Structure 1
């Protein structure tokens, strides 16, 4: 195979000594070539003629000003990318309406008990699961076992979803949201009205409904006193209803009383039902349970 010219040069020869005399006379550094070209008018037409190499060097620097580096593009994992595909794009109202029609009762502009069951089945959850109650809260539903058309469409828009898979992709976010103390308080207070039968004008939550909701609401984070409270209500069927103020104050009650009710102060403005409960528990511990 042939050899390149550098391999054939004798040792110690430099690049400059390899030029012939005619080549040496024509050899000029790049900056002088630029200067000469500009003087002859053969350079960049946007520049005026220059007579010094110094000006040419300054122009050369302008021509080759480096660009700032752009930050690297953040890449998502495959799983994250699939999840974002459900929640980042704009939702389609027509798709939401089509989904609503799949579950709508034939006689009403609403999803009723049968449709709710099918809806939950497609979501792969049971109707009595905690996440379904949270979903109803986000839909701002007014009645159990019923989603009106407005509630369903508006709720999906709030969640930014228009498909079953999109709703499923929001489950983790919803569960994390109600872990926040303020969000949980709003969710808890909304549940009271949700449990009422608005159509019959009901204003006080029946005790059996209240107990079922308390069990469900606190299923993710159960206060130590909740079991004793439910037992107390079950053993006193004369307590037929839970007023709204008692429901709201119960959340404060479980946060303050501690594990053994030792911090309960009956001089504070607690509902009378809490006084009865604490008295019952104290008497029970002393083997002297009173009947109401």
Structure 2
């Protein structure tokens, strides 16, 4: 059992290293600040000579029965549009009640979403539990324990995001894009260390965690420039060996 736990521990952290390494290189490769030039089509047209001729004032026309029906219909349509806009707006507004009900879908009778609830939650939003977007979500909720969301964390964090499964699915691209911001990336990276060290599997210390970031800054995504005789920690040597074996299999 001890050997199995150690293997799980190592593979889990090596998978994390692979994700971090890939994310860092993706950030450098992506250019998300494209300039969008406004349309340069001319909106103005030459004035028609006819427009310069003064038109005589029109006589007021008395409203007919058809005009009254048109006015009533216009008022009815306007009221309907306002009601529809109000309904759509109310659906977009964050609802604490809806968010609370959403939380208990996964927490059951508890005030915390545990591993089983988290598994169902990930399934419903369409991401794997180890997907990096879950780390970003945990950071947004300021979750203090890996694999758990408390009621307080859920309500406070989700208030800035959404209040339903469907809305969260629509927010996944936004959560991924947070990693493209250098400041947020550093905060999430720092959070990930404090977050992961609470696990019973304590493999990396803070120095090793910092070495991972330096490793990702200097080593190519395909690890082609990695020097096995370099002064990297043993953990990164193991990661490189694991990664290359994985690529060949």
* TM-score normalised by the chain length of structure 1: 0.44
Compare CA radii of gyration and give the structure with the larger one: 1
Deviation at residue 98 of structure 1 after TM alignment: 1.1
| Equivalent residue for 1:260, pick from 207, 225, 238 | 225
Deviation at residue 256 of structure 1 after TM alignment: 2.8
CA distance in 2, matches of 1:101, 1:250: 37
Residue 223 of structure 2 is aligned to residue 247 of structure 1: no
| Equivalent residue for 1:153, pick from 147, 152, 155 | 155
Deviation at residue 169 of structure 1 after TM alignment: 0.9
Deviation at residue 132 of structure 1 after TM alignment: 2.0
CA distance in 2, matches of 1:140, 1:246: 23
Q: Which residue of 2 aligns with 1:53?
A: none
| Equivalent residue for 1:95, pick from 93, 98, 105 | 98
CA distance in 1, matches of 2:233, 2:113: 42
The alignment partner of 2:160 has SS state of helix
Q: Does the CA contact (< 8 Å) of 1:143 and 1:196 recur in 2?
A: no
Deviation at residue 120 of structure 1 after TM alignment: 1.5
CA distance in 2, matches of 1:87, 1:120: 27
Q: Which residue of 2 aligns with 1:117?
A: 119
In structure 1, list runs of 5 or more residues that go unmatched.
1-29, 32-84, 207-240, 267-272, 285-292
Q: Does the CA contact (< 8 Å) of 1:134 and 1:174 recur in 2?
A: yes
Q: Does the CA contact (< 8 Å) of 1:105 and 1:112 recur in 2?
A: no
Aligned length: 151
CA distance in 1, matches of 2:93, 2:218: 44
Q: Which residue of 1 aligns with 2:140?
A: 138
Choose between structure 1 and 2 for higher RCO, CA contacts under 8 A separated by at least 6 residues: 2
CA distance in 1, matches of 2:174, 2:90: 11
The Cα RMSD (Å) is 3.4
Write 1 or 2 for the structure with the bigger share of helix.
Answer: 2
The alignment partner of 1:116 has SS state of helix
Q: Does the CA contact (< 8 Å) of 1:103 and 1:118 recur in 2?
A: yes
CA distance in 2, matches of 1:179, 1:88: 29
